[in-house]
Structure 1
Amino acid sequence: MSTRRSDLADLTYFLAIARHRNFRLAGIEMGVSASALSHALKGLEARLGVRLLHRTNRSVTLTEAGAALRDAVTDPFARIDQAIDDLNRHRDTPTGRIRLNVLADAASLLLAPVLPVFADRYPGIQVDIAARDRMVDVIDGGFDAGIRHGDTVPEDMVAQRLSADLRWMVVAAPAYIERHGVPAHPEALRDHHCLGVRLGDDRIYRWEFEGSQGEFAVAVPSRIIVDDGRAMLALALAGVGLMYAMEHNVAPHVAAGTLVPVLSDWATTGPGYHIYYSSRRQVPTGLRLLIDLIRERRPLGL
């Protein structure tokens, strides 16, 4: 059976579905509706004469035939994508699309300051950003790269530093301090109301400090646990509890007096933001240009 042009398009859709195991997310990546993907897949299965996916209301899994097809066509399609991207060397204006999975704070603090310049310099490059704190496999998710703190980058990835190390501190609203006072030592946090931090891997973060004996961590009591930085900031400003925060995120509120630093003598510094990507493929032109611009502009130092 010869390959038709529609087969090539539908195989691209199939690979996106296989990566995400979800029609909606695959549709977002490909820029089409979930129903269009479903229709394309049904057509591909009919032409091939085999079922490629098991679909229920809750899950999408590959059949044995689907897994075999995915393994067989992934590398050839990746080589085609790379060959098309290599043509950027012969264009006056680079084109393409880059998909990034980024910590929400990094999206606002690191990318937002440079993207206006990037858009002006490279109008032919589309940047698709998923700003999420939950850890994902950027390869399985169909992303070109991820941006995380340096100590959370997977070991099998190539990583490049994009910022200086980041300072972490505890802050509280004046209304909270007026009601509950100021903790004199990190261990005193056990007697305070603290806003718990749920990490991207579902662990509850232990607040880290640095004293004369080195670094240590405190498991603070948390009646309220949040996994979104904006929500946590709103709660801290409302005087609900103490917040453990990156200095850059709260600096405007500290300057305005709506948040007050506490335990400053024990503030610690952690790894800066790093961008990471697979070591098994060449860096897309758009991604390389974005990395170069961030390192040129240094919105968070370097």
Structure 2
Amino acid sequence: MQISRADLADFVYFQAIAKYHSFRRAAQEMGVTTSALSHAMTALEARRGVRLLNRTTRSVTLTAAGAELLEKIEGPLAAIGEASDNLNRYRDAPAGRVRLSVPEDAVTLLLNPVMPIFIERYPEVEVDISVSNRLIDVIGSGFDAGIRYGGTVPEDMVAQRLSAEIKWVAAAAPDYLERFGAPEHPDELQNHRCVRIRLGNDQIYQWEFDQNGATHAVMAPGPLTADASHAAIGLGIGGCGVIYGSEPIFSPYFANGRLVPVLEEWSSVGEAFHIYYSSRRLVPTGLRLLVDLIRELRPLGL
């Protein structure tokens, strides 16, 4: 039986459903409605006379025929996608779509300063930004690349540095410091209320302080825990306790006096931001151009 144009389009839809085991998430990636995706799969199964998906109200799984089809089409569809992206090199204006998984701080510090210039230079490149501080399988989740601090980049990925190393500091609101005083040594945090940090792997972060080449790690105490900088900053400004984070994120609040740095002589220098992507895939043109622009503009140094 000869392949049709309808089959080719539906194979792409089928591959997205198989990746996510979800019509809703696949529809979001493909830019169509869930109903349209469901109708396309029903039509594909009817044309081929084979059930490819087991559908329930809670899950979508592949039948044996569906699993075999997925195995056979993944390589050719990847080759078609690569060939399509290669054509961008011959365009007057680059085009295409780039999907990024980015932590909250990288949006503020790297992308916000760069994207206005990027979209002016490359208006036909679509950048889809998913903001999450959680550690996920970026490639397995359908992203072209991820941005993370260097120490959390998976070892099997190609990584490029996007910033200088980043200074980490503690801070508190003036009202809090008037009530409870400022700690002069990291160990004195045990006598303070702190807003703890939950990492992307669900662990509670030990605050790190450096002095004279020695690192002092503190498990900060306190009744509150946050997994996002904007939440911790809001709690800190409200006088809930001492907070900890990257100095570039805190700097605007130091400038307007809503936060005050503490333990300044003990500040720590942490990993730079890196972008990472699979070594087994062609780097999309839009992604390469975005990396080049970040490294050109250096919003956090380099």
TM-score after normalising by structure 1: 0.94
Report the counterpart of residue 122 of structure 2 in structure 1: 122
Q: Is the 8 A contact 2:186 2:216 kept in 1?
A: no
Checking the alignment, whether the CA contact within 8 Å between 2:168 and 2:245 is kept in structure 1 is: yes
TM-superposition CA deviations, 1:13-64 (whole Å, max 9, x none): 1222222233322222111122222222232233334443344444334344
Q: Please list the CA deviations of residues 189-211 of structure 1 after superposition, one character each: whole Å capped at 9, or x if unmatched.
A: 12211112111121111111213
TM-score, normalisation: structure 2: 0.94
Distance 2:21 2:234 in 1: 34
Please state whether the residue corresponding to 1:112 is helix, strand or coil.
helix
- Aligned 8 A contact 1:20 1:140 in 2: no
Partner secondary structure for residue 41 of structure 1: helix
CA contact (8 A) 2:171 2:260 kept: yes
Equivalent residue, structure 1, for 2:136: 136
Paired letter, 1:256: N
Q: Which residue does 1:199 correspond to in 2?
A: 199
Q: In the alignment, residue 22 of structure 1 is paired with which amino acid?
A: S
Please give the per-residue CA displacement for 1:91-127, whole angstroms capped at 9, x wherever unaligned.
1111111111111111121011111111111111111
Tell whether 2:23 aligns with 1:37.
no
Distance 1:221 1:52 in 2: 53
Which ranges of structure 1 fall in alignment gaps of 5 or more residues?
none
Tell me what 1:98 maps to.
Answer: 98
User: How far is 1:235 from its partner?
Assistant: 1.0
Cα distance change on mapping 1:210 and 1:97 into 2, 3 Å: same
Alpha-carbon separation, structure 2, partners of 1:101 and 1:148: 9
- Letter of the structure 2 residue corresponding to residue 35 of structure 1: S
Contact 2:162 2:275 in 1 (8 A): yes
Do 1:195 and 1:225's aligned partners in 2 also have CA atoms closer than 8 Å?
A: yes
- Look up the SS of the partner of 1:114 in the other structure: helix
CA-CA distance at 1:147 after TM superposition: 0.5
Q: 1:220 to 1:65 in 2, by over 3 A?
A: farther
Tell me whether 170-179 or 59-68 shows the greater mean CA deviation.
Answer: 59-68
Aligned residues: 302
Residues 213 and 122 of structure 1: CA distance in aligned 2, closer, same or farther (over 3 Å):
closer
2: distance between equivalents of 1:265 and 1:60?
55
Separation (CA, whole Å) in 1 of partners of 2:193 and 2:4 = 63
What amino acid maps onto 2:46 in structure 1?
Answer: A
CA RMSD, Structure 1 to Structure 2 (Å): 1.6
Percent identical across equivalent pairs? 56
Give the distance between the partners of 2:153 and 2:30, measured in 1 at CA.
26
Match of 1:60 in 2: 60
1:166 alignment partner in structure 2? 166
Quote the offset at 1:272 in angstroms.
0.9
CA distance in 1, matches of 2:205, 2:48: 49
